[in-house]
Amino acid sequence: MSSNKYFKHEGPWSDANDPLMVSDTGDWRTKRPIVDKDQCIFCGFCAIYCPIQVMEMVEKSHFKPDLDFCKGCGICAKECPKKAISMEPEGDFQK
């Protein structure tokens, strides 16, 4: 390890041995993606095009977004070939 006794790390830069930094990006969302399980054909396009990579496989039958981190950009809804994902206003869920 570092011989520097003043800093915990080798230098004033980040150390990935610590827990990673996480922003509450789910809080940015204005629209929430809702997956229609029946219409989903399990093609995976939402998962690969999602910039945050939050679409999780559920039992090899459909995909589900991780709403803690989904920024609500709507790429999954736009790229879904079956239009199985709809974007609902986030305010509807806050009541």
Q: How far is the CB of 4 from another protein (least distance, A)?
A: 13
Q: Is 67 in the site for another protein (CB under 8 A)?
A: no
Residue 87 neighbours by CB under 8 Å, 6+ apart? 31, 32, 33, 34, 72, 74, 77
How far apart, in Å, are the Cα atoms of 91 and each of 17, 22, 27, 95? 38, 24, 12, 7
C-beta closer to another protein: residue 25 or 64: 25
Per CB under 8 A, residues contacting another protein are 8-9, 12-16, 18-26, 28-29, 37-45, 47-54, 61, 66, 68-69, 71-75, 77-79, 82, 84, 87
